[in-house]
C-alpha cells in the first residue's frame, strides 16, 4: 500500500486500509489514494473526537463535520509569513483567487464524496451502517421511475449537506500577457 492511516496508538486502521487497498486496485492514481487517505484520516479523527464508532455513524455526524469545516480555519503547522497579505485576495494578472485559511466548498464536497464511497463500499460488503450516512435516502422507489424520455435524467442519490459551489467569475488575461 502506498498510503496507510494509523490510529492514535500507531496501529493501522483496518477498515480504511481495506478500503484504500480496494480503491487502489481499481486503477486509481496514487494521488487519488493519498487524497482519500487524508479525508478518511480527518473523518477518523472526527469520529474519535465525538466518540462514535465508524460503523455506527449517522447523518448527524456528517452534518456536524460539514458545519465544523465551514466554520473553523484549517490547522496549520506554521503560521503564514510571506503569503499572509495575499490570503483570500485575487491575483490582478490572472484573476485567480489566492487560498485563504478556511476549507473551500470544493474540499467539503470532496470530503462528502469520499465518505459516501467509503460507506458504499462497506455497505456492499454487508458491514458498516445499514444506511449510508452521507447519501440522502429520503426518496423512495426506483430512481427516475417515471422519466420523460424528452427530458434529461435527474441526479438521484444526492449527497446530504453538500454546500453549493459559488459561480466563478470568468477570468481574463490582458493582451500583453
Q: Determine how many CB atoms are found less than 10 A away from the CB of residue 79.
A: 6
pLDDT at 60 > cutoff 70 = yes
Instruction: Confirm if 152 and 142 have CB atoms less than 8 A apart.
Output: no
Instruction: Confirm if 64 and 50 have CB atoms less than 8 A apart.
Output: yes
- Mean pLDDT of the chain, nearest integer: 83
Instruction: Confirm if 52 and 63 have CB atoms less than 8 A apart.
Output: no
Q: Give the Å distances, CA to CA, from 98 to 77, 86, 106, 107.
A: 19, 7, 15, 15
| Predicted local distance difference test score (pLDDT) of residue 78 | 78
Work out the pLDDT band at 7, boundaries 50, 70, 90: confident
pLDDT per position as a tens digit, 105-117: 889 999 999 999 9
| Predicted local distance difference test score (pLDDT) of residue 139 | 54
Least confident of 34-38, 87-91, 100-104, 153-157: 153-157
Under DSSP, is residue 151 helix (H, G, I), strand (E, B) or coil? Answer: coil
Work out the pLDDT band at 48, boundaries 50, 70, 90: very high
pLDDT per position as a tens digit, 123-161: 888 888 878 888 865 555 566 667 778 877 766 556 777
What span, in angstroms and rounded, lies between the C-alpha atoms of 146 and 19?
35
Instruction: Confirm if 107 and 69 have CB atoms less than 8 A apart.
Output: yes
pLDDT per position as a tens digit, 15-26: 999 999 999 999
What span, in angstroms and rounded, lies between the C-alpha atoms of 138 and 159?
11
Residue located via cell numbers 426506483: 142
C-alpha cell belonging to residue 7: 490510529
Amino acid at each position: 500500500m502506498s498510503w496507510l492511516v494509523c490510529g492514535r496508538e500507531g496501529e493501522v486502521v483496518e477498515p480504511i486500509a481495506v478500503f484504500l487497498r480496494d480503491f487502489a486496485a481499481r486503477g486509481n492514481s496514487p494521488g487519488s489514494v493519498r487524497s482519500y487517505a487524508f479525508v478518511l484520516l480527518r473523518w477518523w479523527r472526527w469520529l474519535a473526537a465525538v466518540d462514535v464508532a465508524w460503523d455506527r455513524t449517522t447523518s448527524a455526524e456528517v452534518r456536524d463535520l460539514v458545519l465544523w469545516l465551514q466554520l473553523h480555519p484549517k490547522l496549520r503547522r506554521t503560521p503564514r509569513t510571506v503569503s499572509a497579505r495575499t490570503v483570500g485576495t485575487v491575483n490582478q494578472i490572472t484573476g485567480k483567487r489566492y487560498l485563504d485559511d478556511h476549507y473551500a466548498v470544493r474540499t467539503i464536497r470532496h470530503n462528502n464524496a469520499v465518505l459516501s464511497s467509503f460507506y458504499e463500499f462497506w455497505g456492499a460488503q454487508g458491514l458498516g451502517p445499514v444506511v449510508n450516512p452521507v447519501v440522502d435516502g429520503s426518496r423512495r422507489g426506483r430512481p427516475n421511475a417515471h422519466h420523460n424520455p424528452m427530458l434529461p435524467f435527474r441526479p438521484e442519490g444526492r449527497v446530504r449537506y453538500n454546500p453549493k459551489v459559488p459561480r466563478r467569475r470568468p477570468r481574463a488575461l490582458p493582451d500583453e500577457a
